[in-house]
Amino acid sequence: MLKKFILGLTLVAFAGAGIAFAQQSGIKRTPLQKVDFPAGYNTVTAIAEVPVGGAAGRHIHPGAETGYVLEGELELLIEGKPPQKLKAGESYQIPEGAVHDAKASGDKPLKVLGVYVVKAGEPLAKPAP
């Protein structure tokens, strides 16, 4: 699944939801809730904490991701777009299927709140091809 990182994200079972997050060394993911909505999709909310210098690794989601940086600084790399530097208080959006990576930049750990609206029955994230 993911090599590192949330905002997706730990091979942790989402309590009864059947959704897994890839667990990488040093990255902590805390699933907060899963809602079967809208029809045919699951909306998953989670917090991801990434140590300084940590990264999610290139991956995709079978749906949209939106997130909010709670603490630290994020370098968001979406294939085909210039890198985005985000700090606490800023948000981001990633379209369905976009290959991307998220890295903790700066001198503090990164903490993001991620919301994923993904197709029901699919894994939350997959490694990028």
Predicted confidence at residue 15, as pLDDT, reads 30
Give the domain ranges of the chain.
12-127
Q: What is the pTM of this model?
A: 0.79
Predicted confidence at residue 29, as pLDDT, reads 85
Which is nearest to 42 in space by CA: 51, 29, 33, 50? 33
For residue range 11-41, what is the model confidence (pLDDT) as tens digits? 232 332 333 344 445 778 899 999 999 999 9
> Going by CATH, does the domain composed of 12-127 fall within 3.30.465.10?
no
Around Cβ 85, how many Cβ atoms within 10 Å? 12
Q: Any residues with CB less than 8 A from the CB of 78 and at least 6 apart, and which?
A: 84, 94, 98, 99, 100
